[in-house]
Amino acid sequence: MKHVFVSLALSTFFATSGAHAEIIGANAPRAVTEDEMKASLGEVDLVGANGAPLDLRALMANGRPTLVSLWAYWCPNCLAEMKGFKSIAAACPDRWNIVFVSARASDYPKDLAKFKTYGLPWKIFRVGDSTKTDVAKAKSARAFYGATADGGVVTPLHYLIGASGRVDAIVNGRMNFAEPQRLAAFCAD
């Protein structure tokens, strides 16, 4: 996968109008549609390190914008974003709901260990085990991961959800959150 640099400021993500989110970044042939990816946010089951579920639907409805970031310890672009996430954590950690999710549930222990080394105020989750026994949950998880035509995932993958709960952008690949305009977009009132 090429290193992808998304040159649009986050504020432009939220200027998107119409029924569809703007998919930005690496173009990967998908096995799922954009609508399936967006719908998966309301259907996927996420669990944390202690097995407690995260109610992503309620989080997205709490009136703050939400960033859901699929992340992996083995992903160079994910690791490169950590400097930017540290900047957000220092400047405005409570302005957004920020949720990290293992890009592959099987990698969760390694993702969790690596993620903890960054000392960020947010948690990392994984897709729940219901995907192993429930066909509908497995389909939702596949859409949530943005499954590619060859069965892979694009990392990082970001869902930017506005305060209204609407998906405003899906970003494939690395964003430099430390750039002043992106940090300002995350910290603006």
User: Is residue 63 included in any domain, yes or no?
Assistant: yes
pLDDT digits (tens, 9 = 90+) for 31-52: 999 999 999 999 999 999 999 9
CATH assignment of the domain containing 114: 3.40.30.10
The closest alpha carbon to 69, from 3, 122, 2, 31, belongs to 122
Domain presence at residue 25: yes
Split into its structural domains, the chain has a count of: 1
Query: Residue 106 domain-assigned?
Result: yes
- Alpha-carbon gap, residue 177 to 54, rounded angstroms: 24
Is residue 4 one of the residues assigned to a domain? Answer: no
Residue 1 domain-assigned? no
Q: What's the pLDDT tens digit per position in 147-162? A: 989 888 889 999 999 9
* Packing angle of the helix pair 76-91, 180-187 (nearest 10 deg): 50
Residue 81 CA to chain centroid, in angstroms? Answer: 12
Domain range for 58: 10-187
Residue 44 lies in a domain: yes
Residue 83 is which amino acid? K
Backbone phi, psi, residue 77, to 5°: -70, -35
Residue 44: predicted pLDDT? 95
pLDDT of residue 112: 97
Q: Is residue 122 part of a domain?
A: yes
pLDDT tens digits, 57-81: 999 999 999 999 999 999 999 999 9
Q: How far apart are CA 17 and CA 76, in angstroms?
A: 32
pTM of the model: 0.86
